[in-house]
């Protein structure tokens, strides 16, 4: 495992590898034993750190990994990850030989792409392909039976390609209303019927489909949000089979503290005015870290209490109002647990009118990720 990098600032994201391991074990135990789990570690493991996340979930029972782009797959290979990797998004035809060299499987959804990619593969080079079917997501994918037949034939008649998998992706698996989900599922089943050969992997389910619906696991799944301990949606959360543990937390420390008099101003625009004598502290995190300006008026944990963010969030710093004096170096928790108090990723997402996925992905690479494992497993 890559050594944790040194860092020189008092803001960090803590990644609880024990929680990640636990979540994946629970998912593994819940799904049928023959269902292979591809853990989705794109976007730097949804902001959790792709390499450490990948190594941990593979130890906990994941069979392979999915990412969005070739660069992400290569980064995993460079760190010695040998498990199957599937790129879910588009790969440029000229880059296909690189995927072949590193045993990275690719997604195909267009016959012309196959012809182009073939031109770039020298004799003896072979790449494994998963056909993506668009059954209602409207993003990428083969949409009709004829096209699917042609792509399957092309793959099977070529020396450059092997037909490794077929998949689709649900748009509404995280909703209680199952009508559209069922339409997509039956469309996928119809598409599967036209295949002349059966690939190794047939997969449709994301976290929501795998944990909330029992009819879409086929022989493989692609699990993302649930292994990070987060919910696919508040709607289906009460019906999920087990509780997960949040993996991501975000922390900083007070770097400056002062007593301000009534009527003094804080922050850009000077638009926060102290009403009384107030203890105002500064923490070194701002919108360039993904702690964005819309979080103004939200709160953080200091001294085990919820304390408000005051004034506009700056690029690198934010100001908070303390209930009493706290010294420089006091830990501030922006996401996670402190002395029994908890700010969840979902609470931040709600404040931002977004989804939990976006919160952890948005915390930028400037914030170092610190990997913690109390059980000291060699992840
Ligand atoms: C094609 C595809 N499969 C699987 C996933 C994982 O979904 P989830 O994180 O909801 O489990 C994603 C996530 O964006 C995806 O785009």
Return the CATH number at 80: 3.20.20.10
> Is residue 139 marked as binding?
yes
43-66 confidence digits (pLDDT tens): 999 999 999 999 999 999 999 999
Tell me, in angstroms, the distance from the centre of ligand 1 to residue 232's CA.
Answer: 10
Q: 172 with 86, same domain?
A: yes
Does residue 367 lie in a domain region?
no
Buried b (16+ CB within 10 A) or exposed e, 107-117: bbbebebbeeb
Residue 162 has pLDDT above 60, yes or no: yes
Same domain? 98 vs 183: yes
Q: Report the CATH number at residue 278.
A: 2.40.37.10
Strands 85-87 and 64-67 turn out to be: parallel
Is the pLDDT at 201 greater than 60? The verdict is: yes
Instruction: Tell me what the pLDDT averaged over the chain comes to.
Output: 96
The answer on 261 and 175 residing in a single domain is no
Q: How many folded domains does the chain comprise?
A: 2
Clarify whether residues 135 and 34 are in a common domain.
yes
Give the CA angle between residues 323, 326, 329 to the nearest 5°: 140
State pLDDT tens for residues 56-98.
Answer: 999 999 999 999 999 999 999 999 999 999 999 999 999 999 9
What residue numbers bound the domain in which 39 lies? Answer: 17-228
Task: Please tell me whether 36 is known to bind a ligand.
Answer: no
| Residues 157 and 51 placed together within one structural domain of the fold | yes
Q: What value does the mean pLDDT take over residues 220-236?
A: 98
Q: Write down the catalytic residue from 21, 42, 212, 357.
A: 42
Instruction: Report whether residue 206 contacts ligand 1, using a CB cutoff of 6 Å.
Output: yes
Among 39, 40, 64, 133, residue to substitute to test ligand 1 (most atoms within 8 Å of Cβ): 40
214 band by pLDDT with thresholds 50, 70 and 90: confident
d(CA 232, CA 39): 15
Q: What is the predicted pLDDT for the residue at 6?
A: 83
280 shares its domain with 182: no
Tell me what pLDDT residue 374 has.
Answer: 87
Active site residue 268: yes
The preferred substitution site among 206, 209, 345, 356 for testing ligand 1, maximizing ligand atoms within 8 Å of CB, is 206
Closest CA to 212 of 174, 171, 168, 181: 174
Q: Which of 268, 294, 325, 372 is catalytic?
A: 268
CA-to-CA separations, 122 to 117, 128, 163, 370, in angstroms, rounded? 10, 15, 18, 43
Same domain (yes/no): 160, 257: no
170 with 282, same domain: the answer is: no
Q: Is the pLDDT of residue 215 over 60?
A: yes
Whether residue 132 lies in the annotated active site: no
For ligand 1, atom 6, the nearest C-alpha belongs to 224
Is the domain of 164 the same as that of 266?
Answer: no
Mention every residue, 6+ apart, whose C-beta is less than 8 A from residue 70.
87, 91, 95, 98, 99, 104
Residue 5 within a domain? no
261 & 316 share domain: yes
pLDDT at 1 over 50: no
**Does the CA dihedral 27-31-34-38 come out positive or negative?**
negative
Mean pLDDT (whole number) for 258-264: 98
Q: Taking 90 as the threshold, does the pLDDT of residue 2 lie above it? A: no
Same domain, 186 and 324: no
Any domain includes 351: no
Would residue 33 count as lying in a domain? yes
CB contact at 8 A, 114 and 159: no
Residue 370 lies in a domain: no
| Same domain assignment for residues 126 and 208 | yes
210 Cβ inside 6 Å of ligand 1: no
CA of 108 from ligand 1 middle (Å) equals: 17
The pLDDT of residue 190: 98
Is residue 99 domain-resident?
Answer: yes
Tell me, using a 6 A CB cutoff, whether residue 133 lines ligand 1: no
Picking from 346, 51, 358, 248, the residue whose alpha carbon sits closest to that of residue 39 is 51
Distance between Cα 38 and ligand 1 center (Å) = 10
Residue 225, ligand 1, Cβ within 6 A = yes
Centre of ligand 1 from the C-alpha of residue 225, in Å: 8
């Amino acid at each position: 495992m890559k050594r944790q990098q040194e860092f020189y600032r008092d803001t960090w994201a803590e990644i609880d590898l024990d929680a990640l391991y636990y979540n994946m074990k629970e998912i593994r135990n819940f799904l049928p034993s023959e269902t292979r789990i591809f853990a989705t570690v794109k976007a730097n493991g949804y902001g959790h750190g792709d390499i450490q996340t990948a190594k941990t979930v593979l130890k906990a029972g994941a069979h392979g990994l999915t990412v969005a782009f070739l660069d992400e797959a290569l980064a995993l290979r460079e760190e010695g990850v040998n498990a199957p990797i599937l790129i879910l998004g588009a790969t440029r035809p000229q880059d296909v030989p690189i995927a072949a060299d590193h045993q990275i499987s690719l997604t195909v959804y267009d016959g012309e792409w196959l012809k182009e990619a073939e031109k770039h593969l020298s004799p003896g080079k072979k790449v494994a392909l998963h056909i993506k079917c668009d059954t209602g997501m409207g993003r990428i994918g083969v949409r009709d039976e004829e096209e699917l037949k042609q792509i399957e034939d092309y793959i099977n008649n070529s020396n450059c390609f092997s037909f490794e998998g077929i998949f689709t992706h649900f748009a509404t698996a995280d909703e209680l209303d199952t009508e559209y989900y069922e339409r997509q599922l039956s469309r996928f089943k119809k598409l599967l019927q036209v295949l002349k050969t059966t690939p190794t992997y047939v997969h449709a389910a994301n976290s929501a489909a795998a944990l909330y619906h029992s009819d879409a696991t086929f022989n493989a799944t692609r699990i993302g949000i649930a292994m990070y301990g987060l919910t696919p949606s508040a709607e289906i959360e009460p019906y999920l089979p087990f509780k997960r543990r949040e993996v991501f937390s975000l922390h900083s420390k007070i770097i400056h503290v002062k007593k301000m008099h009534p009527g003094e101003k804080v922050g850009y625009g000077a638009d926060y005015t102290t009403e009384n004598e107030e203890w105002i502290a500064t923490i070194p995190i701002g919108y360039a870290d993904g702690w964005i300006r819309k979080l103004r008026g939200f709160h953080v944990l200091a001294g085990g209490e919820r304390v408000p963010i005051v004034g506009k969030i700056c690029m690198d710093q934010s100001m908070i109002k303390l209930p009493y004096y706290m010294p420089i170096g006091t830990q501030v928790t922006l996401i996670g647990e402190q002395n029994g108090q908890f700010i969840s990723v979902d609470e931040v997402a709600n404040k931002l009118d977004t989804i939990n996925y976006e919160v952890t992905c948005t915390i930028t690479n400037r914030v170092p990720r610190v990997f913690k494992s109390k059980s000291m497993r060699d992840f």
